[in-house]
Chains A and B, each alone.
Chain A
Amino acid sequence: MSQKSTLLNRLRGALIPWLLPVAILAAWEIAARVGWLSSRILPEPFAVLKAGVALAATGELWQHVKVSSLRALTGFAIGGGLGLLLGLLTGSFRKVEIALDTTLQMIRNIPPLALIPLVILWFGIDEMAKLFLISLGVFFSVYINTFHGIRSVDPALIEMGRSYGLTGWSLYREVILPGALASILVGVRYALGFMWVILIVAETISAQAGIGYMTMNAREFLQTDVVLLGILLYAVLGKLADVAARLLERHWLKWNNSYSAA
């Protein structure tokens, strides 16, 4: 009896958050069908779905998603990788910090998107420009958080490691890196969010393939359903990246009470 009621409660708890979105979607669909909303302004949800199915069937959709994702991830790998490397170096070695940090902090103040005109001048409007912008955007959040992560490792633990004979790389692997990991992952999550924003801007400016190309193309032909589909795809991809980062945190930080699944 009581078991049944808790199950029901759980179900209700899982359903309630979805009530409002479903209601909005329904209202929207109805408004479009009745003719209150012009499909030129906002197509009904069903039309977006249909456009998605049609594009998926021809394979065009996957092609664009693939190009965009690859672009984003390549930029992320380059910028994030460099950020991690330099963050580890400046965090670990005073000399490198003295040599590099001031310069990096100055560059950090420039918003990557403000560089767009210059980047177009340098690389034209092809792939290089987009990768450069994404890398730059991703670089700093990984760099800063790695640097701070390394610096904020508990000195008491480092001293303990030393007194147990850990030196050099073994001290790094056992104490310093794991101690900095939580902060590094925070940087990675920020970077992933930033990665999509910059990707969208870069692709909207110009592209020969990718989700941005698809939506801009559709805009020319007033295919608002495809435009909306593109927007939704960006949202889904962004969410996926976030979920992936969270899973990574759960896995790597499972020792930490605040990350372990309760």
Chain B
Amino acid sequence: MQIDHRELNEVRSAQGKEKVQAPGLSIGVRQLIKRFGERQVLHGLDLDIAAGEFIAIVGRSGCGKSTLLRLLAGLDTASSGGILLDGQPAEVLKDDVRMMFQDARLLPWRTVIQNIAIGLDGSQREIRERALEVLGQVGLADRADEWPSRLSGGQRQRVALARALIHRPRLLLLDEPLGALDALTRIEMQRLIESIWKQHRFTALLVTHDVSEAVALGDRIVLVEDGRITLDEAVALARPREHGEALFAQRESRVLKRLMTVEAINNRNQIRGRISEIVVDSVLSEVRILTASGLVTSTVLTRSLSEQPLEIGAEVLATFKSNEVVLAT
């Protein structure tokens, strides 16, 4: 018994040391290009991430989010451009990167604990000890010896999270890991991921289709469009962020609006010009823009005008949408 305890303490202190040595990885992505045959998916993507940052990535389906993550994880190679992790080529630190997929990808023929132990070396006992510890962190210690097929979707994702955590990753890539979960389980998982991230201080990249999830977790929200980053917005809200709070809701709707605005900007439906006149009214205001092809009038909410003031003479981009026109300075 005595020996057991001492060994356990040694393991613990070793882990403690590792934690100090191994905070998050910093990431530098430069002019990243990825082609699949004829189709180019990433068009010279640039992205810098500080060690320990939590980045939420959003963007339309097919814009290249998973491709970016797979390149970061070393599961695929870039056509050109480079990825630096802590200033070194990505291959060097490949073992410090772990990925969590949308589907849990547990081996059905291995029990929960065997799944977590995958790719680990060491004595059976030590591995089991560590696996039980991470299982405890995700709240599933009592399910260690069950088959994955007996778990619910959310529990499977928690096992997948534990499997990633046991490797003490310095960069954790999360590719829509919560997409298939119901709203309540998802919020619960978000809190879990956040608390584990706070504890371990790894760098995290989370791909999500849920803006509120991005606002809840991200230090920054990055929008990927057509293989480029078109928006990079810091979220300066204190953690933990409560979904019901006014500040949170305000932030969420602002980000959503920005996303929609930026998404609307493409060459087909925009026109450059200069503001010539602003007519302010109680609810709706009108902004007149002088463009090369004449005067354009845009109706905007007076409230958004006060939030994002415009000046006469400013260069703007008028964007046409089927149901509304928005302005971007």
Which residues in A have some Cβ–Cβ distance to B below 8 Å?
Answer: 156-157, 159-166, 174-175, 178-179, 181, 253-257
Given A174-B118, A256-B108, A156 and B103 touching (CB < 8 A)?
Answer: yes
Does A174 contact B107, Cβ atoms closer than 8 Å? Answer: yes
From A160, A161, A254, A257, name the one whose CB has the most chain B CB atoms within 10 angstroms. Answer: A160
Task: Give 12 new A-B contacts, CB below 8 A, not counting A157-B105, A255-B111.
Answer: A156-B103, A156-B105, A157-B107, A160-B105, A161-B118, A163-B73, A163-B98, A165-B95, A166-B119, A174-B118, A178-B107, A255-B110
Query: A159 CA to B148 CA in the complex, in Å?
Result: 18
A167: nearest chain-B partner, CB-CB: B119
**CB-defined contacts of B248 to chain A, threshold 8 Å:** none
Query: A178 CA to B99 CA in the complex, in Å?
Result: 23
**CB-defined contacts of B73 to chain A, threshold 8 Å:** 163
Residue B147 interfacial (CB < 8 Å): yes
**CB-defined contacts of B118 to chain A, threshold 8 Å:** 161, 164, 166, 174
User: A160's contact among B74, B101, B147, by CB below 8 Å, is which?
Assistant: B101
Q: Chain A's nearest CB lies how many Å from the CB of B319?
A: 39
Does B99 contact A163, Cβ atoms closer than 8 Å? Answer: yes
Query: A178 CA to B103 CA in the complex, in Å?
Result: 19
**CB-defined contacts of A178 to chain B, threshold 8 Å:** 107, 109-110
**CB-defined contacts of B108 to chain A, threshold 8 Å:** 255-256
The A-B contact count (CB < 8 A) is 48
Does A163 contact B109, Cβ atoms closer than 8 Å? Answer: no
Query: A15 CA to B111 CA in the complex, in Å?
Result: 38
B173: nearest chain-A partner, CB-CB: A163
Q: Chain A's nearest CB lies how many Å from the CB of B193?
A: 19
Give the residues from 97 to 125 in chain B that come closer than 8 angstroms, CB to CB, to chain A.
Answer: 98-99, 101, 103, 105, 107-111, 118-119
**CB-defined contacts of A156 to chain B, threshold 8 Å:** 101, 103, 105
A179: nearest chain-B partner, CB-CB: B109
Given A156-B105, A178-B107, A165 and B119 touching (CB < 8 A)?
Answer: yes
Query: A178 CA to B106 CA in the complex, in Å?
Result: 13
Residue B20 interfacial (CB < 8 Å): no
B95: nearest chain-A partner, CB-CB: A165
**CB-defined contacts of A253 to chain B, threshold 8 Å:** 109
Query: A175 CA to B148 CA in the complex, in Å?
Result: 15
Q: Which 10 A-B pairs have the closest CB atoms?
A: A164-B119, A160-B105, A165-B119, A178-B109, A255-B109, A255-B147, A164-B118, A257-B149, A255-B108, A163-B99
Question: Could you mark each residue 55-84 of chain B with 1 if its beta carbon is under 8 Å from any beta carbon of chain A, else 0?
Answer: 000000000000000000111000000000
Give the residues from 116 to 161 in chain B that come closer than 8 angstroms, CB to CB, to chain A.
Answer: 118-119, 147-149
